């Protein structure tokens, strides 16, 4: 089984592989992680009706919101179809 890499292992790898400063890599990781968390949270809040479409558009972009709208319509249709069965 492959060994589980720690945060430190990954950071050291990136420092050696890219030649960039440790602080710079950590800052980028925090930025990317925060962006991913933010997008994930806004997505779920939009589906839950806690964030309106305009807010979602500015947070995650038109393509993602359009995909979510389409998936939501599909799920709603599935629910209607499922409940229509005798």
Partner 1 sequence: MCAGDSPVPETAVTNTGPPLHLAQIGLEGHLTMFARVSLSAHIREELSRRGLFERIAMTLGERLGVERVTSQELQAQQATLVGFTRHQADWSVAALAARLAPAVVLTDDLALRRGLEARGQTVVGSVGVLIRAFKTGRCTKADLDTSIDHLFDGSTLYLSTGFRAYVRQLLQSLPA
Closer residue to partner 1, CB minimum distance, 9 or 62: 62
> What residues between 14 and 73 interact with partner 1 by CB under 8 A?
43-48, 67-68, 70-72
83 binds partner 1 (CB under 8 A): yes
Closest CB to partner 1 among 25 and 65?
Answer: 65
HSE-CB for 19 with a 13 A CA cutoff? 0
CB 46 within 8 A of CB 68: yes
Residue of 37, 81, 86 whose CA lies nearest to 60: 37
Window contacting partner 1 (CB under 8 A); options: 9-17, 25-33, 78-86? 78-86
Tokens 């980028």 belong to residue: 28
């Amino acid at each position: 089984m492959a060994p589980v890499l720690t945060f430190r292992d990954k950071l050291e790898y990136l420092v050696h592989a890219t030649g960039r400063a440790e602080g710079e890599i950590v800052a980028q990781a925090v930025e990317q992680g925060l962006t991913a968390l933010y997008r994930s949270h806004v997505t779920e809040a939009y589906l839950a009706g806690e964030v309106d479409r305009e807010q979602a558009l500015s947070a995650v972009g038109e393509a993602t919101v359009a995909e979510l709208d389409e998936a939501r319509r599909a799920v709603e249709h599935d629910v209607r179809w499922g409940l229509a069965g005798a």
